[in-house]
Amino acid sequence: MTQQDTHDAVRGRYAAAARSSLDPAGGCCDQTTDPITVGLYEGSDTPSDTALAASLGCGNPTALAELAPGEDVLDLGSGGGLDVLLSARRVGPTGTAHGLDMTDEMLDLARRNQAEAGIENAQFHKGTIEQVPMADASVDVIISNCVINLSPDKDAVLTQAHRVLRGDGHFAVSDIVLLREIPDALRGIVGLWTGCVSGALLDSDYLAKLADAGLTDASVEITRTFDREELQRMSDMVGDHLPEGWTLAAIIDALDGAFASAFIRARKES
């Protein structure tokens, strides 16, 4: 897929999810069928039930990121806005939580969820994570939830993250990482890419790219692995268009133990 094809596929999937949530008769995505997204905020005091229902992440970066009152936070690929709203409450009225998303439908949903939660210190911006529409050195913390793996140009994303962070700012994201290489044939399956699997980086490559972008003290902490039963539940990502010579069982064999959810940390030196 070209970079534009990838953006279009990702935008299409998440626009459809947002429209489903915005439709009063529709409800949002059925997270119970996707082991990557299920159960991430259990027990959390979430500011918006509809934002929780629309969450399509692979972790809970706000539970792991160190946020302090007065800080400015940027969520790359903010979707329905849950992590932005949680961050806004943690940084308090003297801080601001910014959400960035390229999908109009998700931005509409996030702003509706913000109004429902009554949170004033949050702002949502339209744009791509490869070209962040914010000034240099404008935020203290960057978070993201299972979005960087969706980008076709991860070097650009991490370079932008370094640019907008202030000195001694923190990069603290949840994402999918590969623990070993997967066959090239699986990289081209659109459903696996938009489902946050086939676009993921090897954990070692993630660390190398963070360093290349100028970020230091990088680490990858595995937070969730997936067993074969969970992989079977993800089979709808593959759909009916199997790569030539592949069966669904062979794809599951190739993915078994190959990827995990992780929390990735790094820092911009002051």
> pLDDT value at position 212?
98
191-219 mean pLDDT? 92
Residue 113 has pLDDT above 80, yes or no: yes
Task: Give which of 122, 66, 131, 67 is closest to 97, Cα–Cα.
Answer: 122
- Render pLDDT for 4-62 as a digit per residue (tens, 0 to 9): 766 676 667 666 766 766 665 444 344 445 556 655 566 556 766 666 665 667 778 88
Between residues 21 and 209, the one the model is more confident about: 209
The pLDDT tens digits for 129-182 are 999 999 999 999 999 999 999 898 999 999 999 999 999 999 999 999 999 999
Express as a percent the part of the chain with pLDDT over 90.
57
- Select the more confidently predicted residue: 195 or 6: 195
Domains of the chain plus CATH, in order, are 3-267 (3.40.50.150)
**pLDDT at residue 195 above 70?**
yes
How much is the pLDDT for 234? 75
Evaluate if residue 247 carries a pLDDT over 70: yes
Q: Which residues pair with 222 in a beta bridge?
A: 262
Q: Is the pLDDT of residue 126 over 50?
A: yes
Average pLDDT of the residues in 206-217: 98
3-state SS string for the chain: CCHHHHHHHHHHHHHHHHHHHHCCCCCCCCHHHCCCCCCCCCCCCCCCHHHHHCCCCCCCHHHHCCCCCCCEEEEECCCCCHHHHHHHHHHCCCCEEEEEECCHHHHHHHHHHHHHHCCCCEEEEECECCECCCCCCCEEEEEEECCHHHCCCHHHHHHHHHHHEEEEEEEEEEEEEECCCCCHHHHCCHHHHHCCCCCCEEHHHHHHHHHHCCCEEEEEEEEEECCHHHHHHCHHHCCCCCCCCCCHHHHHHHHCCCEEEEEEEEECCC
Predicted confidence at residue 38, as pLDDT, reads 56
Instruction: Report the predicted TM-score, pTM, of the whole model to 2 decimal places.
Output: 0.87
* The token pair that represents 183 in the structure block: 């066959």
